[in-house]
Structure formats: C-alpha cells, structure tokens
Structure 1
Amino acid sequence: MPAPRAISRAAVLQNLLTDHYSSPIAVDRWERLEPWAVARVGLRGAAAPRSVVVKWVEADPTETRAAAWRLRTEHAALQFLGDVVGGGLAPRVIAADITAGLLVLEDLAPRVALDQLLRRDGATTHSERLAAFSHALGELGAATAGQAAAYYARRAALGPVDPAADRAGRLARFREGAIEHAMALGAPLAGRAATELTALLDELHEPGPFLALSNGDAEANNILLHASGPTDARLIDFEFADYAHALTDAVCLHVPGPAWITVGDPTATGLADHYRRTLVRGIPEAEDDRRYGFGLAAACMSWALVRLQRFPLLDTRSAGDDSRLQLIETLEAAARTAQSHSTLPHLTAWIRRIASVLRCRWPDSDQDFLDPMSFPPYRARR
C-alpha cells in the first residue's frame, strides 16, 4: 500500500500528465527507489509511455532531499542538454511541476548503473562500458563548452543561481580543512607548494575555454548502460549540475571516487585518451599537452584535498578499514596524475608526504597499490 504522501504525489502526477498529453493518464504502479526521492511509476493511458521516472522534493526540511533548488537545477540542465544534444546523452524531461516539487523523466530501463556492473563482474568484463563512460563525459564537456550564458538564462528563469559559486564548487570549503589536517600531521603547506595551490585554484575558478556543463557528480553510479549488447550510455542525476572546469569530470577516471579503492591506470586502458579525444571535438585547447595536463592535475589535486578532510573520521576507525586505504590511494593517484603530466611538482611532493605520513600512522594501510592482483581496477570500498 503506497504511503499517504506517495498517494498525494500520484494524484498530482496523474493531473500533470493528463494535462501534458491532453488525454487521461492513470498511475498504475509506484515503485520507490530507496533511499532517494525517486520512483519508477507505471502508467495507463494510450498517449503515455508504459513507465516514467519521477523525482520530487521532500516536504520534511530535515530530509537531505528537501532543497528545492536541486530539482530546479536538474530541470534546467536536462532541458538545456535536450536543446544542445537532443536525447542521446541524458534522460528527457517529460513534464514538471516545480511548484509541487515534481520532475517527470524518461525511464531509461533496462539500463543499469555502471557501478553495479563493475561490482558484480569486475572492470575487465566491462571495458567497453567504461569506454562508453569516458566517451559520455567527454561528449558532455565538448557539447556544452562556450554555452554557459544560455544555460544560466534557463536556470535563472527557475530561481536564483550563482555562476561564480558553481565554478568554485560546492565542496571547495573542504580544502581549507584538509590543509589544517596536513599541518596537524606534520606536513604543513608552504613555499612553492602553496604557490602552486594558488595557481591550481585560479585554474579551476577561471577555466576559460574549459568551462563546460557537468552533472556535478561524475561517477560510475551516475551513468546507465545496458548490461550486455549496445553500449549507448546515459548520464543521470543532474541535481548538482553546474558550469565548471570540464576536467573535473575526468577526475573519476584517474582518482578513486567515494565507492572505490582504486580505479586502475586510465592511460594503459585507453580511457584517458578516449575521454580527451572526445573532449577535443568541442574544446580544441585540450590538444595542448601543457594546458590539458595542468588542468587535469589541478582537478585531481583538488579532489584529493576534498577527500583529505575525512582524516579525523578515518583516524577513529578500526585497523584495516577500507576507507583508510582509499584515502591513501586517492592522494597517491592524484600525485601520479600530476607527475605523469610533468606539472605541479612541489604540490605533488607535498601530497606524497601526507600519504607517507598516513601510511606510518595507519600501518594496516601500508600496502602496495601497484599490485594489480591485490588491488584490481575498480576494487570496491567495503
């Protein structure tokens, strides 16, 4: 039996879709996709598809999904993408009632999230789907570069938005805490490393031709593909969409995200080149090795610092906790990326010093991440 709120939403949805299709539409099934404020909804009606995906804003302000701006952002971003690239990169918006807090999207089933496939079968089995992932990220940047004004005009029509805050990034505040943690660990930021960090932040805040649309969470859980057969991919979850440095979307190919201990070597697998060749189609400056390498290293280093803010929490956990391994590999993977592009040498040395200190502090985590038998690509964090 649906909860009362679901029944109320179903009634609003029926009215919304009946108006949209100018034909009677009935809700036949409401399947909540926990823990998110998302449902797959079966429909009855000659004009409507058999099912849609519905997202909503929680009425309870204590709920994490209660921020109405998130729904407005997704609505604007998906409609903008539809204008720019059609329906081949993300779900179509079917209808919306922003006042009621409902967004109705194309149902992309039977596609499933890439992270589920990687956890189940391993990265080697899904190399083609990882390639499709890297291609989709590159295509998003290429297709939307240089069109920030058009996106923000659409977004502003739905409510207030701050483009400068978008470029800074919603996680930027965590970097300051990370620097303080490094100092407490005996690895203070100083000298040329501090100068390089300033240059890094300048690059991310003023990306120039690399300014492009991101869904704000470019990870393997936010792309849907068929488990077998065609590898056409769809990016999802644009609640945190923003215009930012395009290479922030490439970080997930080089440095572990929250779900993984390792992501492997994207250069050896070809994922890095696949992404870059796709991005160049819309951002020719990505062909410049120096500029591309600096932007990518800056984005990876920034992410490593964001993750370092978790140090106090991880320091309280039991020996052998996977999150400790993950943090060390995040720092070292960011350092490897910068070194491979011959940039930010002093910041790289500082990041490696922090990783070394953590290895000593957490002897249970002092393991060799270069051993592919122990830590294969996309080894999930427990």
Structure 2
Amino acid sequence: MTALGGASRLDTLQRLLAGLYDSPVTVARVERLEPWAVARVWLDATPALPPSVVVKWVPDGERDARTAAWRLRTECAALRFLAEDVGVRLAPRVIAEHAGDRFVVLEDLAPRVALDRLLRRDGAAAHRERLAAFAEARGALSAATAGQAAGYHARRELAGLDAAADRAARLAALRGSAVEQASALDVALDGRSLAELDRALGLLADPGPFLALSNGDAEANNVLLHATGPARARLIDFEFAGYTHALTDAVCLYVPGPAWLTVGDPAATGLADAYRRALARGIPAAEDDRRYGEGLAAACAAWALRRLQRFAALDARAPGDHSRLQLVATLDATARTAGTHQALPHLTGWFGRATELLRRRWPDADRDLADPAAFPPYAVRR
C-alpha cells in the first residue's frame, strides 16, 4: 500500500471517502501509475462506492514539491470549473481533495486508455475514429469555455492561485528567445519576419473571441478513450490549465509534439474539420478563414520557437539522434501549416530557411518526412 507514498496517506484517504460516501471504505489494492505520483485505488465493492478512484499527490521530499502542490490546486480549480460551472463531461470529476496530505481524489475513467498508447501499439490508421474524437474534444473544450474566463479565475483565486498569471507566463520572453536562437542558427529574423513574429505573439496575448480554457498540454497522452466501441474522449492532466488562445490546442494536430516525429496531414484525415466544427459551435469567429488561419499559424510558430530553444543541446548530440530529426520536422510542419493557410508569409519563409539550414547542418536529419512508408502519421520519436 506504500504506492500512495505512505500508510498515513492511505488511512487519510479511507477516512475521507468514508465521510464523503457515508459508508465504510476499505482499500483492496493500489496500482501505482508510474512514473507519476498517481495511483489507481481499488475499493472493496459496496453499492455506495465506485469500484475505483484515481489519486494524485505531491511527492514527499522532492525538489518540486512546492510546484507540484500548486499544480494540483490548478487541476482541481479547472476540473471543478468544468463540472460545476460549465457543466460539461469532458474531464474527470474531482471527488475530494485533502490539503494537509496534499492529494486529490479523481473519478476513475477506466477502462479508457491513453490515445498515445493505442497509436504506439497499432498505428494511426487503426484509430482514425479515436483521433477524430480527440480533435473534436479539443475543439469542444474551447467552445464550451469561451467567454467564461472570469468564472475560472474566481475558482483559481479560491484555490489561492494567481489568476492574472495565465497567459502572460506562457508568452514571456519568447520574442527574445526567438531572436537569440535565430542568431545562433545564423539565419536572422529580418524586419518583416520580426514584425510578423510580433503580430503573432500579439494575437496569442490578446485572443479576443478565441480566449478559452486549455489543459495546458494538448497531446495524445492526455486524452483517454475506449480501445474498442464508441470513441467518447475524456481529457486529463489539467495541472497547467489556464485561459489562452484556443488554437494553441490545435497545434498538436499539425505539428509533432514531444512523442512524435510526424502527425500527418490533418486536412487529409479529417481531423482539421472535426476540430474546427467543434470549435465553431462556441466560437463563431473560427469560421472566418483569415482569423482562423492567422491564429493557427501564430500558435504553431510559438510552439516551434519553444522547441527551437533545444537547438544547442541537440547540436551537441551524436548524429542519428531522433530529437534532431524531430526538430527539423517541427519547423517544417510549422512552415507548411502557415503556408497552407496563407498566413504570416515572411515568418513562414524564415521557418523554411531555418529548416533547410538544420538539414545541411545535420545531414542525418535530412530526411523525406513526407514519405509515408518511412514516416507514417504518428511515427514515434525514439
């Protein structure tokens, strides 16, 4: 039972649930979900209790314990906001939280499993319906929460969190970092591309009607679905939740995240339409091609620039390292997405030049990423 980080936490959990359900509670077994401070807790079956719950806690004695406590409060605020204020079933419910022992109890969404696990096991072609459900859920989250930032920030303040830090913290110092990385690559951002970068960051800082809640990590590992049957998606991991430009949650459909070398063409697979339709139900401005395309290009550019901050570390690695190829793929996909939507043309050109420079600098990463035989959608980064 030490999988919960100690017997005292287990005892506290049993008492907490007993009071909540007005029923005796006995933990049958605990399954630690490594490597995170998360466990599935199976309860002795009674009519009053769910068969299992998920417990997340702050690791004892670790350097990031203070940060982890802040993240758990953020998650609780976001999940309570969705369930109690917005009234949507896109994420697990908070069953209970215990400030003293620094843990939260969440609804167990099993037997759903993480989408990235299915993609790694079977490939993307086998899970087109689940990928579409993922895209739709991301759009639906933004649609449901647009225009309700005040309610969420009130929840954050009740949880002792800084309500004003959300968006600013996500964009802080990105412009300066971009200029620095461009210099390191010897492909400087000129006046026109720099002006478009400023416009892109301005759009993200002031989203207008596109301001919506994100869980802060819109990747395939943070969506749970049934491996067979209807593909009803639930989003998890709201520890970095906050209000931001809705289209930041669409980036994962166009540009590879940390786990992947490629994600494929979302227009060809229908993921782009599934996402946009769901988004437009709550944000009609998503039907405006110009605004949508420029916002998407800006969001992809910001993501790519964050990933480009790894350049020096990757440059020092041995040839053949998959992370080098992934960075090339990231810049390439960003330029392609912006070009398709005819947005930010000078910044798009800069991303294209940076991509070609990296291909020359790293011959091992000069690969044909459009070759579906070598790089099918959701090819895994080793």
Whether the 8 Å CA contact 1:25–1:45 is kept in 2: the answer is no
Q: Report how far residue 4 of structure 1 moved.
A: 8.4
CA distance in 1, matches of 2:199, 2:4: 53
- The match for 2:350 is 350
Letter in 2 for 1:20: L
- Alignment match, 1:377: 377
Q: Distance in 1 between matches of 2:231 and 2:5?
A: 37
Structure-to-structure mapping, 1:88-103, within 5 angstroms:
88-103=89-104
Q: Show the counterpart of 1:204.
A: 204
5 Å-filtered alignment, 1:152-231, equals 152-163=153-164, 165-170=165-170, 172-173=172-173, 176-231=176-231
Q: Distance in 2 between matches of 1:258 and 1:65?
A: 25
Whether the aligned pair in 2 keeps the contact of 1:172 and 1:306 (CA below 8 Å) is no
> Contact 2:5–2:60 (CA<8 Å) still a contact in 1?
no
Shift of residue 182, structure 1, vs aligned partner: 1.8
Deviation at 1:254, TM superposition (A): 0.4
Equivalent in the alignment of 1:18: 18
Instruction: Specify every segment of 5 or more residues in structure 1 that has no aligned partner in the other structure, as ranges.
Output: none
Report matched runs for 1:19-168 at 5 Å: 19-44=19-44, 46=46, 47-63=48-64, 66-86=67-87, 88-163=89-164, 165-168=165-168
TM-score (norm 2): 0.96
Cα deviation per residue 1:72-101 (whole Å; 9 max; x = unaligned)?
100010011102454621111111113321
Tell me which amino acid in the other structure corresponds to 1:113: A
- Between the aligned partners of 1:36 and 1:232, the Cα distance in structure 2 is 25
Give the aligned partner of residue 244 of structure 1: 244
1:174 positional shift: 5.4
Please tell me whether the aligned partners of residues 41 and 54 of structure 1 are also in contact (alpha carbons under 8 angstroms): yes
Structure 1 residue 303: Cα displacement: 0.3
Structure 1 residue 369 displacement after superposition:
1.0
Matched residue type, 1:93: V
Contact 1:37-1:65 at 8 Å conserved across structures: no
Q: Which amino acid aligns with 2:326?
A: Q
Query: What is the Cα deviation at residue 173 of structure 1?
Result: 4.0
Distance of 1:372 and 1:61 partners within structure 2: 43
Q: How does 1:279-318 map to 2 (within 5 A)?
A: 279-318=279-318
Q: Is residue 331 of structure 1 aligned with residue 331 of structure 2?
A: yes
1:5 is aligned to 5
For 1:244 and 1:273, locate their aligned partners in 2 and report how far apart those are by CA, in whole Å.
21
Secondary structure at the aligned position of 1:224 is classed as: strand
1:249 counterpart letter in structure 2: D
Q: Give secondary structure in 2 for the equivalent of 1:67.
A: helix
Distance 1:61 1:174, change over 3 A: farther
SS where residue 378 of structure 1 aligns?
Answer: coil
Between the aligned residues of both structures, percent identity stands at: 65
1:171–1:306 CA contact under 8 A, matched in 2: no
In structure 1, distance between residues paired with 2:228 and 2:3? 35
Aligned-pair distance for 1:179? 2.8
What is the CA–CA distance in structure 1 between the aligned matches of 2:36 and 2:4, rounded to whole Å? 17
For residues 229 and 307 of structure 1, the distance between their equivalents in structure 2, rounded to whole angstroms, comes to 36
CA contact (8 A) 1:123 1:378 kept: yes
Task: For 1:66 and 1:183, locate their aligned partners in 2 and report how far apart those are by CA, in whole Å.
Answer: 33
**How far apart, in 2, do the equivalents of 1:84 and 1:285 lie?**
23
Q: Deviations over 1:207-238 (max 9, x none)?
A: 01100000000000000001111100100000
Report the count of equivalent residues: 381
1:144-182: CA deviation from partner (whole Å, max 9, x where unpaired): 00000001101110102143x311344744553343122
Distance 1:3 1:289 in 2: 50
RMSD value, Cα: 1.6
Shift in Å, 1:347:
0.4
The code of the aligned residue for 1:228 comes to: T
**1:255-312: CA deviations, max 9, x gaps?**
0000000000001111111100110000001111100100000000000000000111
Distance 1:344 1:87, change over 3 A: closer
Q: Give the distance between the partners of 1:42 and 1:244, measured in 2 at CA.
A: 36
Give CA-to-partner distance per residue, 1:21-77, whole Å, 9 cap, x none.
122112221211111010000112632111100011123241468531101100010
CA separation of 1:229 and 1:117: change in aligned 2, threshold 3 A: same
Match of 2:269 in 1: 269
Q: How much does 1:203 deviate?
A: 0.4
Contact 1:175–1:306 (CA under 8 A) maintained in structure 2? no
